[in-house]
Each structure stands twice: as structure tokens, then as C-alpha cells.
Amino acid sequence: MQRVFSAKDITEAHIVKGMLESFGIPAQVDGAYLQGGFGELPVIDLITVSVADEQYRHAKKLIEEYDRATPETPIAE
């Protein structure tokens, strides 16, 4: 297994996991239960998404497309 994505929070990790699985790439979320131990403090690289070694390149490409489609800052209403 290789880490393919570092998420901001558990929700983002599961969104990416679901996206990968919708393309037939099994994925797992790691570190999900550690977030509660740190409370509201931001922790970098704590929650990650991993895929099998042979799926890494395809998953990385899909995540790059996801990152390009996701705005960095919230859109003001």
C-alpha cells in the first residue's frame, strides 16, 4: 500500500476514497481515529488515503484531476 493523498479532515479523506472506488480502485483511509486526539488543532499528514502499489499511478492521476477541480478557498455567496 502507498499513501496517495493527505486530507485536511476525515470528510475529505472519505470523499477521495469514494471517488477512487468509483473508478474501481480500492482505497483505505488511515489515521481517521487520530484526529479526535488532537481536537481542533490542524494536523498535517495525519489522515491519509492509501491504495495498492499497482494502483498508485492511476490513483495519483485521478487525485490530480480532483485537486484541479477543487477550489482552494470557499466561494463567497
**pLDDT, tens digit, for every residue of 4-59?**
999 988 899 999 999 999 999 999 999 866 655 555 555 566 899 999 999 999 99
Residue with the three cell numbers 479523506: 13
**pLDDT, tens digit, for every residue of 65-75?**
988 886 666 55
Give me 14's grid cell.
472519505
Which domains does the chain possess?
Answer: 2-69 (3.30.70.1530)
Where b means 16+ CB within 10 Å and e means fewer, 26-59 reads ebebbbbeebeeeeeeeeeebbbbbbeeebbeeb
Measured CA to CA, the distance from residue 6 to residue 65 in angstroms comes to 15
